[in-house]
Amino acid sequence: MEFNDAAQPMIKLLFLLKAALEVGRERLEDCIDTFTSKAEEYKSTGSEKVNQSRDIVQEFAYEFTQQVWQRSEVLEAQVRERIRRQVADFSLGALGDSTEINELRAEIATLRAEIAEMKSMRTPV
């Protein structure tokens, strides 16, 4: 039994060493799993942040293009209105000019008629 009595502490020590290795290995695996999950979490968080940043940039670009588009439509409408007013002013001016010309023609015709009437009155005298 002396062998058993002497071997028991050594066997116990072997079991303790084996248990320590297993526990150490489990703890190492847990640490690796935790690290891996945190890395994946960080990666997914990083991907989410990249996606969020991309979404923010896309939203900004969309709003910017919408504002540019609306501003261009406003500017186009203003230019069209200015051109329309200028054409209307020109047309009214031309119409006024033609009306004045017609009035002058009518006055000239009236004066010619009066001159012709005066000439005809002078002849019998």
Q: What is the pTM of this model?
A: 0.41
Asked whether residue 3 carries a pLDDT value surpassing 60, the answer given is no
Neighbours of 60 (CB within 10 A): 10
* 87-105 average pLDDT score: 76
* 77-106 average pLDDT score: 79
Neighbours of 8 (CB within 10 A): 10
pLDDT of residue 123: 59
| Token couple for 82 | 């200015």
Asked whether residue 124 carries a pLDDT value surpassing 60, the answer given is no
Top pLDDT among 111 and 47 is at 111
Report the distance separating Cα 45 and Cα 51, nearest Å: 9
Query: What tens digit of pLDDT does each residue of 62-73 get?
Result: 888 888 888 888
DSSP string over 78-94: HHHHHHHHHHHHHHHHH
Report the distance separating Cα 67 and Cα 46, nearest Å: 31
